[in-house]
Amino acid sequence: MTDKKLAWTTAALLTALIMNGAADAQERVIPPRVLPAPADVSPQIQGLAGLPVPENYNVLPKTAEEWKARQNASQASGTKTATDMAARLHVKVSAKTMGGVPVFDILPETVAPENRDRLLIHVHPGCYVLGGGPAATVEAILMASFGQFHVVSVDYRMPPAAYFPAALDDVVAVWKAALKTHKPSQMAVFGSSAGGALTLGMVLRARELKLPLPGAIGPGTPMAELTGVGDSFATNAMIDNVLVARDGICEPAARFYANGHDLKDPLLSPVYGNFKGFPPAILTTGTRDLLLSNTVRVHRKLREAGVDAQLQVFEAMSHAQYIRDDTAPETREVFQEIAAFFDRHLAR
């Protein structure tokens, strides 16, 4: 057999094997295993990683009243966290309205000289249902302090008071109001979890409305896919000790917000949107994050659309654990990376 014919035959056999493998793809059974404590992280992240999965992680509200009670409890504990954090980090938080929407104005002790004319708009996490009121400000406080930015945090409407697209409408309304005082090139929009998805959805909606787009965005571990597609929904189930699994509170809460709307609508699952022309984006996740695949898929789609997109992945972090402890060096690193990215892309 000639070398040319041998090469052709080998290539044909490899193609056949690959095609057969794809056709025969199936689930794999993984034996039980012990998850060791992470070695190469700070003591703070070791502590967070070692927290047990909540026993009631999949005990869910069944009525609007029960959702409201869960919401109130979350807001009460989150408000204390935010108040204590603002005091530790010397950040001033005050309530006001923008575009008819309640927001929190957040100022660090010192705004960096290069950021004096810049504004960041923050969209809080909470699975579309939790974390409103002053509790909404935790992530924004971290960004204001570690990035030395002026931040406005949107206290968007949530179920059971209002359903999709109320939260998105509120974020867009705040963006429109901000455009009256700042150039779009001087502003960035950021947020984690539901806030990450709303950040992406806001850009999709703003583009549809022919509004100017932000100079940059920072969607952290975004809830960008609500139909269950994504490898880490399986690989990180019961490893992520925040969201835990798909039957935990977050996905049912998102469905509660969607209120029967098609979950593949890009304004609910932005990974299915068209990212052409999006502003530069920095995405953040962790190796134990249930939404690791969500974050990776959004990053790849942004890159495929020609967008300048950066992905930072932190060792042993579950979902958005970078907002859980302001003393962790990784927390400071997360927000300083985002701040540096914004500094490169925002006008002064």
Per CATH, the architecture of 64-345 is what? 3-Layer(aba) Sandwich (3.40)
- Sheet of 92-98, strands arranged across: 92-98, 101-107, 151-154, 119-123, 187-192, 216-220, 281-286, 309-314
Which residue, chain included where needed, has tokens 């925040």? 242
Omega before 160 within 30 of 0, i.e. cis: yes
Q: How many beta carbons lie within 10 A of that of residue 127, not counting itself?
A: 23
Q: Tell me: pLDDT of 90 over 50.
A: yes
Which residue, chain included where needed, has tokens 């998850």? 35
Coil, strand, or helix at residue 337?
Answer: helix
Q: For the chain, which residues make up each domain, given as ranges?
A: 64-345
What's the pTM? 0.92
The C-alpha atoms of residue 25 and residue 21 are separated, in whole angstroms, by 6
Hey, what's the torsion of the CAs at 102, 332, 221, 210, to 10 degrees?
50
Q: Residue 199's closest CA among 104, 145, 124, 130?
A: 124
Q: What is the pLDDT of residue 30?
A: 86
∠ CA 146-79-43, nearest 5°, is 50
- In angstroms, the first-to-last Cα distance of the chain is 68
Q: Which band of pLDDT confidence, cut at 50, 70 and 90, is reported for residue 33?
A: confident
Omega before 270 within 30 of 0, i.e. cis: no
**How many residues make up the chain in this entry?**
348
Low-confidence winner among 50-59, 193-202, 272-281 (lowest mean pLDDT): 50-59
Across 20-31, average pLDDT? 72
Q: Tell me: pLDDT of 17 over 80.
A: no
Q: Which band of pLDDT confidence, cut at 50, 70 and 90, is reported for residue 107?
A: very high
Which residue, chain included where needed, has tokens 């570690």? 146
- Residue 108 has what DSSP assignment? -
- Each residue of 192-243: pLDDT tens digit? 999 999 999 999 999 999 999 999 999 999 999 999 999 999 999 999 999 9
Q: What is the pLDDT of residue 26?
A: 83
- Residue 312 has what DSSP assignment? E
Distances (CA, A) of 261 to 176, 228, 256, 329: 25, 16, 10, 40
